[in-house]
Each structure stands twice: as structure tokens, then as C-alpha cells.
Amino acid sequence: MPPLHRRSLPVTAVEAVGAYTLLRLRNDGGDAGRPGQFFMLQADPEPAAAYLPRALSAAWANEREIAFLIDTRGEGTRGLAAAARISLLGPLGKGFRIAEGPALLVGGGIGAAVLPWLRSELAHAGRAPRTLLGFRSPAHAVCAALVDPEADVVLEPVLVTEPLARLLPFPGTVYACGPDPMLQAVAAVCAEHNVRCQVAMEAAMACGFGACYGCAVRIDGAWRRLCIEGPVLESGRILV
Amino acid sequence: MSDRLVSELCGVRLENPLVNGSGTLDALVAGTLGLAAYVTKTITLRPREGNAPQRIAETPAGMVNSIGLANPGLDAFCGSVAPALAELAVPLVVSVGGWSHREYAEAVRRVSALPGVAAVELNVSCPNVDTGCISIGSDPAETRALLRRCSAASDLPLLVKLSPSVADVAAIGEAAAEGGAAGLVVINTVRGMAIDRDTLRPLLGGGGGGLSGPAVKPVGLHAVFHCFARTGLPIVGMGGVASTQDVVEYHAAGAVAVGLGTALLRDPGLPARILPELDGELARRGLASVAELVGYAHQAQAKALQEI
């Protein structure tokens, strides 16, 4: 049974990272989870404008701090960035599994938000990965430094799948997070080269713990709940 | 918790008056969180994947959903889901849906034979399927006939979940009572929709959807109030319940039990916070039991009318 107890954590810093916002919370020693798992976040006290919590994976988390890189696009995310405290539920879902062998990180846009923590875990495991990131503008690409100061960065109209294709086949595991079309393309090219790949997906969620069935995505050829099956999945499970 | 909170629904003892709304709590994932009964997601004869995404959209003070009755189907439910649910320490209510009277009766018959089932809920009010279901629950004669057929297929209390998106919800409740319903569950979501702000096309995969959350509380209170007045049946009241005060108001409108739905999705810790507050509120008002609060708004209205 997942932890279904909400806790309210103080916001210690809200920092602009180019076009994105880094929201840092002081953890109370509670479970920080694993890279790729997610939390349901709501400003505390609740703003009138955003009724549902927002599902976000941490950029990094430990017993002292939980940090989220946010694309503040609507009233909900702007409310999070303006809050003095955040009420959060989690960690929820299934995160990345650190596989044997070399690692390659692939991120698109705000999908980069989940990669700093994964990269440091991989580095701890002695598998510091090569990192490929794609963004729509230089302002969005500023966050690349949080993931990997030596990341290879491409900007639109170049897509991150182009440098990825040049590196395949790859004798290890690809870990990817980004918009659905990017993940489909990454999954397809990895399948083509028989390369193992894990993808972290995103879907609108009301609850995050399997009750609402709102976060359905195509998994194994059927509509399934991303919060329960994922949000990190073996890429073969999402190929259409 | 004190005895003040004990309630009863169609002969089923409830340790407290709070239950979940069907489809808002997956017991195998979440446990029961302090709720006094567990109501399953609606089960249909055949498995359903549900509607294509997007399935939920935030609205002011609520959300619109278009899940589309995703469920494993009656065979899988009876075979592998129900045995685990029977282990729950609270009464189990199985919600069933269908596209014809025959399908409902078949589902009612089979789930009634399962061990540990205390009551069956007939969902005749899902706004997210095209036919059957809500088209039955929009018509008093259809509802009456459905209940007659299903009553013959079960010895368990049958609860009927009503849609507020009809001309006269209490008339549907009366028809259900005439057909043999033991109780009512009031309300399901209110028909609604969302338009994508950029593409200006329907946002939800099912086109329309069902509105829930605090936005619908007045709709739910009105429906419960009138169903109570016109049917006298025990009612599970729900619609936008998010606080102890909301629970008290639903009891006053006529509910013997109160359902939490959308609020539970946002905060599964809510029942554990409401229950002690509710106990305190009953004590503060000098009430010895939930039963003394049920229908209180009707007495108050009669009194007010006399005073005029």
C-alpha cells in the first residue's frame, strides 16, 4: 500500500532556471522515494484557482530536501511557485530501475526535470551516463546544467532523437523523459536497435494512487493507469 | 470513535456514516481509509477499457471526468477481485451497470451470490456511456421496470444511484422505490463538458463528461432533500462533500450515510479528519446519534412555515 498521508512542507527557495522554475522544499525526513516516482502537489493553503493537485516528479530528493523543476504554464503551477508551503502526497508510482551496464539519458523540454536525480544515482552506481537534451529555446535549455554540465544539447527544430540515433546501437540502457511524441520516437528507435529503454511518461491525474482511472495511457495495447503501471515503463510497453 | 457516529443503511450497520462514492477509491490500492463501507467501481457484464484520454479536466471548484466505466468485467470481478474485497473489514457494496435490463439482472444475480456482499448498487446514472445506464435512469418507467426485474434476482438490498441531470430526480427515486429499491444513492456526477482552450474542440476523449467536486454540492443537497421528502427511502447522499460541515448538511437534507468522492482523490486522509470533527459537532448540537440529524432540514422547514 502506498503512503497516502499528505504532509505540508515549507518552501525554502523558488529559483528561476531560465524559462523554468526550481521549487525547493525542506523535507521533514519523510520518504523521498526514487528517481522517476512522483508526488501530488498542492499549494498550502489551497488556492481557489486550482482544485486538483499537480503530479510532479522530483528533480532531486533526500531526507532534507525535495526539489521540483516546474514549467509554470497555468494557474496551478503558478500557484505552486507562489506558495509558502506545499502539501504533498507521495512518493507514488514506479520509478526508474538502475540497470546493469552503461547508461544514456535522453530528455526533452520539461522532461529534463526528472533527470538530475537519476543521473546522480547512476553516477553513484559507477555508471555516469552520457546525456542528450532537447529544448525549444535557449532559455529552456538553461536547466541542462542541473542535469549534466556536459550534456549534449540541441534546440528546435533539431530533435533530440537525431543525436540519439547516431549513438545507437548502444550497449546499455536508455533512460528517457519528455513529451509523448518524443518518447514514442525514442522507443521506436531503441526497439529498432534492440536497445533497452525506460521511459518516464506524463498524464493528467486527479489522485495519483489508482483510484480515479483518469491517467489512462496506451500501455501493452490497452488504456491503463499510468500512476499504477508507471510513470516509468519499459519502452516496449508503449509502442503503438 | 463514539457510538454517536454509528448509522445504518438498509439494515446494514455502518460504524460511521462515511462511505466512498463508486469509482473514487480502489480498495486494493488504498485500503478503506476509515470509511464505514466500501463501494466498488461499477462492474459491467463485459470488461471495459474505458474512454480514450483525456479523461479528466479541472474546473473551478471541481473536475469533469470521462472515464467510461473502465472495469475488468463481471467474470474477472467475481473470480479474482471479489475474494480480496471480501477480506475488507467493512461492508461491501458492489456497483453494477449495464446496457439492458437483462444485463443488470445478470450482474445483480451473480454479485449477490458472492460471499461478503452487503448490498448492490445499480448505477443508472453514468454520464460517460452512450446508451443503457443513464438512459434507463432518466426514465421513471424504465427505472421501475429495471428494479422489478433486479429485485427478483437478489435477496440483498438494492441501492439505486441517481443522476441529477434529469427533469425530476425525485420522480426517478419514487419509481425506483415502487420497483423495490431499498435505498438511493444521490447524486452521480452532473453532465458537463470541457473545451480545449487552444484547439477549441472537446477536451475529453468521451466528448462530454461528469462534473464533480464542491461545485455540485448545492445540486446534490437539493436532490437528496427532495428524494427524502418524496420516497422516505434511506439515502446515501453525495456530491461535492469536502468537509465536516458538508457531511452535516447532507444528513440534514436526509442522508443516512454520506459519500466522499472527488475530495477523496485529492486527499485520502480526509475521512480520518472528518470523523472526530463530526463526532464533536453532534455532541455540540446535543445529538445522541447521526439518526437524530437525518432529515433535520425538513423539520426546520415545517417549523419555519408555521411561524410565517
Q: Do B29 and A211 touch (CB under 8 A)?
A: yes
Torsion from C-alpha of A226, A230, A234, A240, nearest 10 degrees: 0
Residues of B with CB under 8 A from a CB of A: 23-26, 29-31, 33, 41, 49-63, 65, 67, 70, 213-214, 262, 264-269
| Three-state SS sequence of chain B | CCHHHCEEECCEEECCCEEECCCCCCHHHHCCCCCCEEECCCECCCCECCCCCCCEEEECCEEEECCCCCECCHHHHHHHHHHHHCCCCCCEEEEECCCCHHHHHHHHHHHHCCCCEEEEEEECCCCCCCCCHHHCCCCHHHHHHHHHHHHCCCCCCEEEEECCCCCCHHHHHHHHHHHCCCEEEECCCEEEECECCCCCCECECCEEEEEECHHHHHHHHHHHHHHHHHHCCCEEECCCCCCHHHHHHHHHHCCCEEEECHHHHHCCCHHHHHHHHHHHHHHHCCCCCHHHCCCHHHHHHHHHHHHC
Q: Which of A7, A89, A207 should we substitute to test contact with B (largest number of B Cβ atoms within 10 Å)?
A: A207
**Whether A47 contacts chain B with CB within 8 A:** no
Residue of B nearest to A204 (CA): B56
For A183, A193, B4, B83, the CA distances from A165, given in Å and listed in that order, are: 13, 9, 67, 49
From first to last of its 308 residues, chain B has per-residue pLDDT tens of 679 999 999 999 999 999 999 999 876 665 678 999 999 999 999 999 999 999 999 999 999 999 999 999 999 999 999 999 988 999 999 999 999 999 999 999 999 999 999 999 999 988 777 667 788 889 999 999 999 999 999 999 999 999 999 999 999 999 999 999 999 999 999 999 999 989 999 999 989 999 999 999 999 999 999 999 999 999 999 999 999 999 999 999 999 999 999 999 999 999 999 999 999 999 999 999 999 999 999 986 666 555 54
Any B CB within 8 A of A217 CB? yes
Asked whether the beta carbons of residue B266 and residue A210 sit closer than 8 angstroms, the reply is: no
pLDDT at A5 (0 to 100) = 85
For an interface test with B, the pick among A8, A44, A52, A205 (most B C-beta atoms closer than 10 Å) comes out as A52
Report d(CA A222, CA A189) in Å as an integer: 22
| Residues in A 151-190 with any Cβ partner in B closer than 8 A | none
The residues near B52 (Cβ < 8 Å, ≥ 6 apart) are: A216, A223, B205, B206
CB B176 within 8 A of CB B207: no
Give chain A's mean pLDDT: 95
Contacts of B67 in chain A (CB under 8 A): 212-214, 216
Residue of A nearest to B56 (CA): A214
Answer yes or no: is pLDDT of A219 > 50. yes
pLDDT-wise least confident of A4-13, A42-51, A60-69, A225-234: A42-51
Q: Tell me what pLDDT residue B308 has.
A: 42
A-chain CB neighbours of B63 within 8 Å are 51-52, 206
**pTM given for the model:** 0.93
C-alpha cell at B303: 417549523
Distance, in Å, from the CA atom of A119 to the CA atom of A128, rounded to the nearest integer, reads: 7
A238 at B interface, C-beta within 8 A: no
The ipTM of this complex is: 0.89
CA distance B140 to chain A (A): 30
> Measured between CB atoms, which of A48, A51, A223 is closest to B63?
A51
Q: List the single residue in A1, A6, A76 with the smallest CB-CB distance to B267.
A: A6
- pLDDT in the model for residue B134: 82
Q: Which has the minimum average pLDDT: A67-71, A136-140, B52-56, B85-89?
A: B85-89
Residues of A in contact with B52 (CB under 8 A): 216, 223
The pLDDT tens digits of the residues spanning A150-195 come to 999 999 999 999 999 999 999 999 999 999 999 999 999 999 999 9
Alpha-carbon distance A140 to B166, whole Å? 49
pLDDT tens digit sequence for A84-122: 999 999 999 999 999 999 999 999 999 999 999 999 999
